[in-house]
């Protein structure tokens, strides 16, 4: 029997590193008696360029990709940074889930009681850092650096509406352990790695960081690209992105697809709208007027807190 710790589909830095950090904590401390099963951090799919950059920077190996077919029926699975079925490893038997550590809206219907740790903080790594402190565990320098990076990435350098004092408190602790003093400079370094879309096709961008939601029976994909080159992307890549959106919408049988291009330095998001129906939902959700299939939604940067909820309300 083994215990696997795993983040969501289309893994981001928070999901990958929270799994690594929690597995490290559970290998080292008894906590909930997983230590005998050698907890291992795994991932659902290939990592994004930002996570690849950070793992290389800190000299840490990428966790392996696992499929549900590789799990034996006795294996236990701990979910981090997600809970909804649509965001889980596909084919995962939910009876194997023994614990969830997350900071997203809860959408669960499980048969058995399990360990649940949900906090309304800006990053799953803030929760894992908090758990480490409670268990008198100190992560080594490279892991502390990765956890700090994940907090800065998820909270957009503390600028996101999801950021809380606890995120800053845990980031300060991790920064000291990682010996990283200039958090603003480190945030910019992470934004640049995130913004490096040179290796991505238009379809890769549309599928770069997306989540699929069930809003009032409608299948809605919301993709977000956090970048320092918003204007350039919306000028040079718009036509290609719209074509890719149409393809992905058909392929995944979506009712709606939204691609949010967020400028992390200017603190502004513009949403690409594929068709009239999407424009109607978006303007109902956020107000304003769409111009040339683009809606400026202002300072909103958090998909979880500021982008997905208004779309859900508009559709319900
Ligand atoms: Mn997260």
In this predicted structure, what is the pLDDT of residue 154?
95
**Over its length of 316 residues, how does the chain's per-residue pLDDT go in tens digits?**
899 999 999 999 999 999 999 999 999 988 877 767 789 999 999 999 899 999 999 999 999 999 999 999 999 999 999 999 989 999 999 999 999 999 999 999 999 999 999 999 999 999 999 999 999 999 999 999 999 999 999 999 999 999 999 999 999 999 999 999 999 999 999 998 888 888 889 999 999 889 999 999 999 999 999 998 899 999 999 999 999 999 999 999 999 999 999 999 889 999 999 999 999 999 999 999 999 999 999 999 999 999 999 999 999 9
Q: Kindly give the distance from the C-alpha atom of residue 124 to the centroid of ligand 1, in angstroms, as a whole number.
A: 5
289 CA to middle of ligand 1, Å? 31
pLDDT for 22 equals: 97
pTM: 0.83
Rounded to the nearest angstrom, the distance between the alpha carbon of 150 and the centre of ligand 1 is: 8
Strand 268-273 relative to strand 256-263, pairing: antiparallel
Tell me the backbone φ, ψ of residue 298, rounded to 5 degrees.
70, -135
Q: Which CATH superfamily is domain 202-315 in?
A: DHHA2 domain (3.10.310.20)
Question: How would you classify residue 291: left for phi > 0, otherwise alpha for psi between -120 and 50, otherwise beta?
Answer: beta
For residue 154, the CA-to-ligand 1 centroid distance in Å is 6
Rounded to the nearest whole angstrom, what is the distance from the C-alpha of residue 291 to the centroid of ligand 1?
A: 31
- Per domain, the residue ranges of the chain are 3-193, 202-315
Going from the Cα of 175 to the center of ligand 1, the distance in angstroms, rounded, reads 19
**208 alpha carbon – ligand 1 mean position (Å):** 15
CA of 95 to the centre of ligand 1 (A): 23
- Residue 193's DSSP bridge partners are none
Q: What pLDDT, on a 0 to 100 scale, did the predictor assign at position 194?
A: 85
Question: Ligand 1 center to residue 7 CA distance, Å?
Answer: 9
Distance 304 CA to ligand 1 centre (A): 9
* Confidence (pLDDT) at 1: 87
Q: How far apart are CA 242 and CA 269, in angstroms?
A: 17
Instruction: Single out the residue of 209, 188, 54 nearest to residue 125, CA to CA.
Output: 54
CATH number of this structure's domain 3-193: 3.90.1640.10
Sheet with 294-296: strands ordered across: 210-215, 218-227, 256-263, 268-273, 294-296
Distance CA 80, CA 116 (A): 10
By CB atoms closer than 10 A (0-12, 13-18, 19+), residue 292 is: exposed
Q: Residue 306: its pLDDT value, please?
A: 96
Alpha carbon of 302 to ligand 1 centroid (Å): 11
- How far apart are the CA of 227 and the centre of ligand 1, in A? 17
pLDDT for position 35: 65
Q: 143 CA to middle of ligand 1, Å?
A: 17
Q: Cα separation of 228 and 222, whole Å?
A: 20
Q: What CA–CA distances, in Å, run from 160 to 179, 207, 309?
A: 24, 22, 15
Distance 103 CA to ligand 1 centre (A): 7
Q: Measure 48 CA to ligand 1 centroid, in angstroms.
A: 14
| Separation in Å, CA 82 to CA 143, 212, 241, 275 | 21, 12, 27, 30
Question: Ligand 1 centroid vs 276 CA: distance in angstroms?
Answer: 31
Residue 93 Cα to ligand 1 midpoint, Å, equals 23
């Amino acid at each position: 029997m083994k215990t696997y710790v795993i983040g969501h589909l289309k893994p981001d830095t928070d999901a990958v590193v929270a799994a690594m950090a929690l597995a490290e904590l559970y290998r080292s401390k008894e906590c909930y008696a997983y230590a005998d099963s050698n907890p291992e951090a795994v991932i659902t799919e290939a990592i994004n360029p930002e996570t690849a950059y950070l793992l290389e920077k800190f000299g840490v190996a990428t966790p392996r990709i696992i499929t549900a077919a590789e799990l034996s029926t006795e294996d236990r699975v701990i979910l981090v940074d997600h809970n909804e079925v649509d965001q889980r490893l596909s084919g995962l038997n939910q009876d194997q889930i023994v614990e969830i550590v997350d900071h997203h809206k809860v959408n669960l219907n499980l048969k058995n009681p399990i360990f649940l740790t949900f906090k309304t903080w800006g990053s799953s790594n803030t929760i894992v850092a908090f758990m480490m402190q409670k268990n008198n565990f100190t992560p080594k320098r490279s892991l502390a650096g990765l956890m700090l990076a994940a907090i800065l990435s998820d909270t957009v350098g503390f600028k996101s509406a999801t950021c809380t004092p606890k995120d800053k408190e845990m980031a300060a602790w991790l920064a000291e352990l990682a010996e990283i003093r200039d958090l603003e400079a480190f945030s910019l370094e992470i934004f640049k790695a995130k913004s490096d879309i040179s290796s991505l096709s238009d379809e890769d961008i549309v599928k770069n960081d997306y989540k699929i939601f069930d809003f009032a029976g409608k299948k809605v994909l919301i993709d977000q690209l956090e970048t320092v080159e918003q204007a350039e992307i919306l000028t040079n890549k718009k036509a290609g992105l719209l074509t890719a959106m149409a393809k992905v919408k058909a392929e995944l049988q979506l009712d709606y697809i939204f691609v949010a291009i967020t400028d992390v330095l200017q603190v502004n998001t513009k949403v690409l709208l594929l068709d009239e129906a999407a424009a109607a939902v978006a303007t109902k959700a956020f107000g304003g007027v769409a111009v040339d299939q683009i809606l400026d939604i202002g300072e909103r940067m958090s998909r979880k807190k500021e982008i997905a909820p208004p779309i859900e309300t508009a559709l319900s």
